[in-house]
Amino acid sequence: MVSYSSVVGQSQLLLVCFWSVNSEPSINELNALNTQYAKYKKPLPFTLLGICIDEGNLINRMRPTAQQNDWVFDVYADIDGGVQKLLHFTEPPQAFIVEKGQIVYEQSGFSAGSENYLLSKLQSLAIHQHL
């Protein structure tokens, strides 16, 4: 068990993606980000987190889903739904860019290519941090 604030506090720039094992769009989003993560991770000082919002028996499928998709980023579970309630969203996929502990951008839903927009937002924030 770790707190959301302790995970978020470890990185200056963070991309947090909420997902469910039953949400094909959220898994597609994480797969798309996963394929580009290594390429963007080197020049951009950011961390990618996948947070599963499932409860009950579905939560048991979280780790196998991450392993089956060969995700190279950390995956956590929002066991009691507290983070989801705090951030006021209902359906995954839901992505947040967090800079120095503050949400600076959020994106709902996923369609092919929208991962590129998230990564470009991260890139512009990282450039801005160095100015």
pTM (global) more than 0.85 = yes
Spell out the alpha helix ranges (H) of 4-61.
4-8, 24-41
42: pLDDT confidence band, cut at 50, 70 and 90?
Answer: confident
| pLDDT at residue 129 is higher than 80 | no
90: pLDDT confidence band, cut at 50, 70 and 90?
Answer: confident
Show the domain range for 116.
Answer: 4-130
Please give the torsion angle defined by the CA atoms of residues 23, 25, 86 and 100, in that order, rounded to the nearest 10 degrees.
140
Strands 13-19 and 47-52 turn out to be parallel
Query: Considering the chain, what percentage of its residues have pLDDT values greater than 90?
Result: 60
Count of structural domains, the chain? 1
> What local confidence, expressed as pLDDT, does residue 131 receive?
41
126: pLDDT confidence band, cut at 50, 70 and 90?
Answer: confident
More confident residue, 84 or 9: 84
15-39 tens-digit pLDDT? 999 999 999 999 999 999 999 998 8
42: domain CATH number is 3.40.30.10
Report which of 56, 36, 53, 51 is spatially closest to residue 119, judged by C-alpha positions. Answer: 36
128: pLDDT confidence band, cut at 50, 70 and 90?
Answer: low
